[in-house]
Structure 1
Amino acid sequence: MMDVLNKIVEAKKIRVSELKKIKPIEEIKKQAQTIKTVSKFYKAIKKLPHEPIKLIAEIKKASPVKGLLKEYDVLKMADLYISSGADAISVITEEDFFLGSPEFLTKIKEKYPHVQVLRKDFIFDEYQIYESKMLKADAILLIACILSKQQCKTLYEVAKSLQMDVLFEIHNEEDLEKAFFAGVDIIGINNRNLKTFQVELNTTFRLKKLIPEDKVVVSESGISEKVHVQELVKNGVDAILVGTSIILSSNPADKIKELKNAK
């Protein structure tokens, strides 16, 4: 998987360098700073006592593991997510391996400006954060394992300066150290081992114990059954990020309700 991860990042670097030729960083930075929207993503996914778990439903066309999942209309799927009770939407915008598009995110925000939308991509350059603001994202994903400690802190601060939230994704204790160093307030625990592709919900249970109570914790990957959510709720998780099991379900609306109502 690390080879695949490196390939994804390399492909993204090429795309970012092309974008910089079209619109230099000084220009996009200036434009992004004129957009005065303030993210409500943190509030949307913070679970209050006695509330059901918060659900971030993902727009995902494909993955390096499973290939193409399903062809579907992005706006219709977003509509289904919202009407079924999703608390926020994650949109994968990575083009080469996940068949995503930045356009998906912008279209959803234009149709549903009140809905909180996360841009899920492989972000390593502040240019991509200014781009995310221009795309109307409320929050961005930062993946600890592809960034140095200092990059984590710098990119986090750039996003916050633009009034955007950050879902900071970790996989192990080393990544968690980066989260503490950067001072993040939302920590996503990815249950997928990036070296073996194995998914272990125990990753969330193990790392959650090491995270201070004042952080919002999101569990990601491998969540497909009511029993998974019940265990996560017991362990104090605020939110779940679910894509594949909803998209591949014969009834995505029912799947969302099943996961949301697990107590």
Structure 2
Amino acid sequence: MIDILNKIVEAKKIRVSELKKIKSIEEIKKQAQSIKTLSRFYSAIKRLPNEPIKLIAEIKKASPIKGPLKEYDVLKMADLYVSAGADAISVITEEDFFLGSPEFLIKIKENYPHVPVLRKDFIFDEYQIYESKLLKADAILLIACILSKQQCKNLYELAKSLQMDVLFEVHNEEDLEKAFFAGVNIIGINNRNLKTMEIDLNTTLRLKNLIAEDKVIVSESGISERAHVDKIKNGIDAILVGTSIVLSDNPVEKIKELLLNNKVNFSYYI
């Protein structure tokens, strides 16, 4: 997986380099700083006492492991997510290995301006932070293992200065040290081992005990049934689920199963 991860990052570096030729860092910075919207992502996924676990449902077209998942209309899927009670939507925008697109995020925000949306990509350059603001992302993903400690801190603080939240993804104790150094307030625990590609929900159980109670904690990867949610839900604010919902014959019922909640959420339409 490390080889795949390196390939993804290298491909993204090429794309960012090409983007900089089209629009300079000075230009995109000025445009991004002119946007004054505030993020609702943190408040949407923070679990209050006695509340059920929150759900970040993901728009995902493919993965480096499974390849293409299935064809579907992004807006129709987003509509199902909202109607089923998802608290936020994650949109993978990485083009080469996940078949994502920034256009997916733009379309969803245009149609659901009040739904908190996470831009999930491989971000390592301040240019991508400004770009995310122009895409109207409420939050971005930062992956600890592809960044140095100082990069984590610098990119996190830049995103926060632009009024975006950050889902800071960790896989082990070393990554957690970067999270603490950067001072992040939302930590995503990825249950997938990036070296072996194996999924172990015990990763969430192990790492959550090392995180202060005032942090919002999200469990990611390998959550496909209610039993998985029941195993990890104590002390967790939210789950991020993509593949199992996308591949389900009935995404709405899959979400209800995961949340054990038959409520249909119309609040975002108001």
What is the aligned-residue RMSD (CA, Å)?
Answer: 0.6
Structure 2 letter corresponding to 1:86: A
Partner of 2:169: 169
Cα-to-partner distance string for 1:57-94 (whole Å, 9 max, x where unaligned): 00000000000001000000000000000000000000
Partner of 1:94: 94
Partner of 1:85: 85
Partner of 2:266: none
Distance 1:168 1:73 in 2: 28
1:62 matches 2:62:
yes
Cα-to-partner distance string for 1:178-209 (whole Å, 9 max, x where unaligned): 00000000000000000111000000000000
Distance 1:68 1:196 in 2: 21
The within-5 A match list for 1:220-259 is 220-234=220-234, 236-259=235-258
Structure 2 letter corresponding to 1:46: K
Q: Give secondary structure in 2 for the equivalent of 1:27.
A: helix
Distance 2:83 2:21 in 1: 40
Distance 2:37 2:259 in 1: 28
Cα-to-partner distance string for 1:212-262 (whole Å, 9 max, x where unaligned): 00000000000011111112223x100000000001111110000111127
Partner of 2:33: 33
Structure 2 letter corresponding to 1:92: I
Distance 1:247 1:170 in 2: 24
The Cα of 1:36 is off from its aligned counterpart by 0.3
Distance 2:86 2:101 in 1: 21
1:13 matches 2:13:
yes
TM-score, normalised to structure 2, is 0.96
Distance 1:38 1:260 in 2: 27
The Cα of 1:53 is off from its aligned counterpart by 0.4
Runs of 4+ in 1 over 3 A off after TM superposition: none
Partner of 1:190: 190
The Cα of 1:3 is off from its aligned counterpart by 0.1
The Cα of 1:34 is off from its aligned counterpart by 0.3
Distance 1:43 1:123 in 2: 23
The within-5 A match list for 1:40-189 is 40-189=40-189
Q: Give secondary structure in 2 for the equivalent of 1:228.
A: helix
Structure 1 letter corresponding to 2:219: S
Q: Which runs of 5+ in 2 are unaligned?
A: 262-270
Cα-to-partner distance string for 1:123-159 (whole Å, 9 max, x where unaligned): 0000000000000100000000000000000000000
Distance 1:242 1:152 in 2: 24
